[in-house]
Amino acid sequence: MTLKLTEEQKNKLRQYLETNGFSFETRPYQEFLARKDTVVVNLYTSGKVVFGGSNKAGIQEIKDFLLSIGSVEVTEKEKEYPPIEVAGTRIGTDEAGKGDYFGPLVIAGVLITEDKEQELSKLGVRDSKTLREKTISNLAFDIRRILNREDYEVIWISPATYNILYQKLGNLNSILGWGHARAIENLLSTGKYCKVAIADQFGDQRYIENALMRKGREIELLQMPKAERDLAVAAASIIARNTFVCKLREIGERYGTVFPKGSSDVVEFGKQFVKDYGVDALLHVAKIHFSITREITGGFVPHVREDLKTELDVGPENQMKTR
């Protein structure tokens, strides 16, 4: 639900939040960001209100208040994109886990030919975000069955390794750029003829371009929003998401628990996890640069040591992998 407020309703919202103990922050293009415990309220200058945080009951109370003073619910039309006019042999890459607090970051690449594209199309391959988890699992199995082993590549970065890389690079897009470029390079190393790669655009195009090596710089790289419209990228998105789910399950088995996906309903789980295993254990299971870490720990962010990976990652299955 997206709500839009008049100027009078904006003032009433601020008064309501002040009365209920919210703190206020200034942000570009916003009237304010208000925060209390696990509820975040973003009021934009346009009058649009966006909520965040894990306290669904608290958020619903504010929504009920806004509806009671006459605020209007607006429906945002999703932007439509034209088909991607690329045919023939090509590589598609996509990632999973970048918005999930717990678990690894996964980047997958798929190389398809016209023949393989027809087979994958018959399976109903499409953007993994539109599919249920069981369907993703089944499709991932079928995609791997149809493709030759050298025609798909999976790179996963464990949480501990991710935290080391983020501390060094200070930028998620730099990590993603390396991952997408590595997937493309590995697929091209088999020697199969391919002159085009398509990636879902997540930032400045140079993040991938600068990370590509000799083979990758010899092909045309297309980066665009909603690239999952292309079947090769859609297949990569399915393999990436399935790998993320499997790796998250493996991490959970080590701790005898089931980690929640996403980042909206994880705070209470995280607090219990820290109580059971200590705050430093977050380094091994979560992406600690997320602001959620401070909510879980009460403001403390664990220190990332250079030797974190070898000290906390147990067994070769937790190292950064390219196969």
* Strand (E) or helix (H) holding 275: helix 267-277
pTM tops 0.85, yes or no: no
Q: How far is CA 254 from the centre of its chain?
A: 23
In this prediction, residue 73 carries a pLDDT of 79
Structural domains of the chain in order of their starting residue, each with its CATH number: 2-74 (3.30.310.10), 90-249 (3.30.420.10)
Query: What was the pLDDT predicted at 201?
Result: 80
What are the phi and psi torsion angles at 102 (to 5°)? -90, 150
Closest among 272, 264, 239 to 106, alpha carbons compared: 239
How far apart, in whole angstroms, are the C-alpha atoms of residue 20 and residue 116?
Answer: 59
pLDDT confidence of residue 311:
46
Contact 283, 158 (CB under 8 A): no
Question: H or E element: which one contains 96?
Answer: strand 90-96
For residues 79 and 221, the answer to whether their CB atoms sit within 8 Å is no
For residue 109, the 8-state DSSP code is E
Q: What is the mean pLDDT of each run of 10 residues along the chain (323 residues)?
A: 86 94 85 90 90 86 89 70 83 94 96 92 87 92 94 95 91 91 92 89 78 78 88 95 96 95 88 95 94 90 76 39 36
pLDDT of residue 288: 93
Question: According to the model, what pLDDT value does residue 197 have?
Answer: 92
Distance CA 166, CA 172 (A): 7
pLDDT of 190: 86
